[in-house]
Amino acid sequence: MKIYGDSNSGNCLKVKWVSDYLSLPYDWIEIDTMKGGSRTPEFLKLNGAGQVPVVILDDGRALAQSNAIIRYLARESDLVPHSPYLAAKMDEWLFWEQYSHEPYIAVCRFQIVYLKKSQGDLDTDKVKRGYAALALMEHQLHTTRFLTGSSMTLADVALLAYTRVAHEGGFHLDGYASVRRWIADGKKALGI
Amino acid sequence: MKIYGDSNSGNCLKVKWVSDYLSLPYDWIEIDTMKGGSRTPEFLKLNGAGQVPVVILDDGRALAQSNAIIRYLARESDLVPHSPYLAAKMDEWLFWEQYSHEPYIAVCRFQIVYLKKSQGDLDTDKVKRGYAALALMEHQLHTTRFLTGSSMTLADVALLAYTRVAHEGGFHLDGYASVRRWIADGKKALGI
């Protein structure tokens, strides 16, 4: 398998972490998205959406969208609950991550770390929604060790990608003790 | 099963369409999100994220996020490809829908239809990204009848929700003949 990814992108790291966790062999092809690497004619042939990550499976077929990729790679592993309902709860977190977490927490971090914006220049609505996402996670992680229960699933892998670097986007985790505990647990479980 | 949804929301209609297509019985509980129906203390107990749709399964357990819900309801039906790779391609479209389509096409429509904005008041970046989403769909649907091949899957159901009403958000589908053909095919297949 070939993974086309940008090492600075949490979405790409999800794929690396899952592959490493499951001992799946891969070649990592670094794509510098800041320099337009995901917009070249060659790259657009791999993924017309012009987004990383993309994987090319051993049979030559391509797959995009970080959460779809990890769901495929881990489909028969302990990272996906056997119970259909718990697998659906995992999916609930995965879709929520892309709609209600990444666009705020990852985007604020991107603007500060890569676009060199100051905290005061951030869109206040994005910051507010980022904290709302952290609050929902805190509420869940106050009662369960991982997001869907006592075991780590892809929901945790996906949410770890940007939550563990939320502070780089100016988010203070002081009032989110369960989230901090979960970040430490997740990093340990993934060996990152 | 109980479906808590807003009839004006494409995300909620996805759940209705899949349930109807699979002949799954349900009670529909109308939630008026414009009047704060998804922010009441009672609703937040069902879904802390304060979003519709939510379903309460017959055993009393709750599930949120439209694409996670339809994936669960249809998991053993012909709306989910049997091939793991094609199921992953379906997931690729589902995640893409929530990140790269809904935030532009559904949001522009919402602003025009419900917030009564004029076309000229829309964020030009959102409009541009909406058309980019339509272009990616056109590219795929020019070569395959449905998004993942010759058969309708949840990817088509999910993307139909807002693509079929894209014109209400000011999007012109004149240059998207394959998308228009696919909308007609999808509506017919779903009986909507």
- Write the CA distances from A132 to A101, A129, A188, B164, integer angstroms: 9, 5, 26, 31
Shared-domain flag, residues B155 and B115: yes
Assess whether B181 and B99 both reside in one domain.
Answer: yes
Amino acid (1-letter code) at residue A92:
E
Alpha-carbon distance A106 to nearest alpha carbon in chain B (angstroms): 13
3-state secondary structure of B72: helix
CATH code, A119: 1.20.1050.10
Q: DSSP secondary structure string, chain A?
A: -EEEE-TT-HHHHHHHHHHHHTT---EEEE--GGGTTTSSHHHHHH-TT--S-EEE-TTS-EEESHHHHHHHHTTTSTTS-SSHHHHHHHHHHHHHIIIIIIIIIIHHHHHHHTS---GGGS-HHHHHHHHHHHHHHHHHHTTSSBTTBSS--HHHHHHHHHHTTGGGGT---TT-HHHHHHHHHHHHHHT-
Q: How far apart are the first and last CA of chain B?
A: 21
Peptide bond into A81 cis (omega under 30): no
Quick one: pLDDT at residue B70? 98
The answer as to whether B151 is a domain residue is yes
- Binned average pLDDT, 10 residues per bin, chain B of 192 residues: 97 98 98 96 95 97 98 98 98 97 96 95 97 98 98 98 97 97 98 96
Instruction: Inspect the interface and report whether the beta carbons of B92 and A136 lie closer than 8 Å.
Output: no
Provide the residue range defining the domain that includes B142.
Answer: 84-190
Residue B64 maps to which CATH number?
A: 3.40.30.10
Q: How many CB atoms lie within 10 A of CB A120?
A: 7
| Residue A138 included in any domain | yes
Q: How far apart are CA B47 and CA B42, in angstroms?
A: 9
Residue B176 lies in a domain: yes
Contact flag B92-A64 (C-beta cutoff 8 Å): yes
Q: Which two tokens stand for residue A98?
A: 């892309």
Residues B98, B170: one domain? yes
Instruction: Dig out the tokens for B74 from the structure.
Output: 């249809």
Whether A69 and A88 share a structural domain? no
Are A103 and A149 within one domain?
A: yes
| Shared domain check, A168 and A114 | yes
- On whether both A102 and A175 belong to a single domain, the answer is yes
Helix-strand-coil split of chain B, %, nearest 5: 55, 10, 35
So what's the pLDDT on residue A39?
96
- B151 part of contact set with chain A, CB < 8 Å: no
Residues 41-100 of B with CB under 8 A from A: 48-49, 51, 57, 61, 63-69, 71-72, 75, 84-85, 87-89, 91-92, 94-96, 98-100
pLDDT string in tens for chain A (192-residue length): 999 999 999 999 999 999 999 999 999 999 999 999 999 999 999 999 999 999 999 999 999 999 999 999 999 999 999 999 999 999 999 999 999 999 999 999 999 999 999 999 999 999 999 999 999 999 999 999 999 999 999 999 999 999 999 999 999 999 999 999 999 999 999 999
Phi, psi of A129 (to 5 degrees): -70, -30
Say whether pTM exceeds 0.90: yes
Number of domains in chain A: 2
Residues B113 and B162 in one domain: yes
Q: Is residue B79 included in any domain, yes or no?
A: no
Q: Is residue B186 part of a domain?
A: yes
Establish if A148 belongs to a structural domain: yes
ipTM of predicted assembly, 2 dp: 0.97
